[in-house]
Amino acid sequence: MDKPYLELKSLAVGYAGLPLISNISLSLKKGEIMTLVGPNGSGKSTILKTVTRRLPAVSGEILLDGADLRAMSGRRLAAKMAVVLTDRIRPELETCFDIVSAGRYPYTGSFGLLTSRDRDIVGRALSQVNVAGIADRDFNSVSDGQRQRVLLARAIAQEPEIIVLDEPTSFLDIKHKIELLEILRGMAKEQGVTILMSLHEIDLASKISDQIVCVGSEGISACGRPEEVFSDESVRRLYDLERGSYNAGLGSVELASPEGVPRVFVVGGGGYGIPFYRGLQKVGIPFSAGILFENDVDLAVASPLAVKNVTCAAFSAMTDVQIAAAKALIDTSDTVIDAGCPLGELNRANGELLAYARSENKRVVHSLSELAEVLP
């Protein structure tokens, strides 16, 4: 079994000798990605600053490749660990190339002179994060997102064994978030670089991480593989969600459902109903939905948003009881939405519901724009 590359043993972190979080015991193997998630102010950055020696540990041990982190010289640590924190740096008269060149510090000797190899490494790092085109620009003149990528390039140029990053996706648009995480995943899996970071986007954290650490108001509440740690309920507790919800299966956040008596019944299924559920939530119209199979992706979204759902066991034909329950909801609704889900052997009863709605002179619409025309 591979030995841990980074170990935190009974670690306590905090400020001025006062612990904010205690009894932290975590281990991370070479080439693994561990992500800290949790609300603002919970202590994620404090843990990372302690691991990178920006803050002294209150107590406990930090071992890097089996060696005590506190006993390492600055140059030896810099040859092993690269750091990208959220602290804003404002260097004077330095280009982006200069900033990335600082990543070669552990290898350039006393005078800090770059060799041709060093310059090649800096150039490749700039290209890897798609900022080679701004290499000659003043670092202070580029956008927040570009600065973030330049700082990642500096970490890459350092050729570290471990990279520690605090919210590296801050200020990045979705394209560059994905690119950055793909770079980190490639470094971990192809080069064996160990990654320790914090992220706010728990959906992205679940997709890239080998281990998730949940840091809440009372310290670390869970640690393990994403599928072990993330559930609808665990995320609700971690972030103290009182309104809205998180769906671990879809990795999506839903806002609070509209309150009141359902005015609309949605005949959906197969993902066809999802735009309607979210559209109705957005304009505050309470609705009900059905008949949805228990394994249907529609139900994952309708469940937290609809006032009531009529459901059916997966891979089973819809029953007379379920059909009657759905018709009762149609009776008390003003309008029925046909979301357009194709009908087959198992869900043919939904076609019966649409026919029933028309026979009862209910308005049947097929789009949210149609719905807006008939509902105030």
Measured in whole angstroms, the distance separating CA 344 from the mean position of its chain's CA atoms is 36
pLDDT digits (tens, 9 = 90+) for 321-344: 999 999 999 999 989 999 999 999
pLDDT class of 87 with cuts at 50, 70, 90: low
pLDDT class of 180 with cuts at 50, 70, 90: confident
- Mean pLDDT, the chain, rounded, equals 89
The fold adopted by the segment(s) 255-374 is: Rossmann fold (3.40.50)
Mean pLDDT of 84-102: 82
Identify the pLDDT of residue 171.
Answer: 80
**φ and ψ of 315, to 5 deg:** 60, 25
Query: What's the residue count for the chain?
Result: 376
Q: Dihedral sign, CA of 148, 150, 153, 154?
A: negative
Q: How far is CA 244 from CA 208, 256, 285, 303, 356, in A?
A: 25, 4, 16, 12, 33
Token duo for residue 142: 């580029």
In the chain, CATH 3.40.50.300 covers 4-239
Distance of alpha carbon 343 from alpha carbon 361, whole angstroms: 22
The pTM assigned to this predicted structure is 0.80
The fold adopted by the segment(s) 4-239 is: Rossmann fold (3.40.50)
In the chain, CATH 3.40.50.20 covers 255-374
Token duo for residue 114: 């770059």
pLDDT digits (tens, 9 = 90+) for 151-178: 999 999 999 999 999 998 888 888 888 8
* 307 within 8 A of 281, measured Cβ to Cβ: no
Bridge partner list, 338: 267
pLDDT above 60: residue 1: no
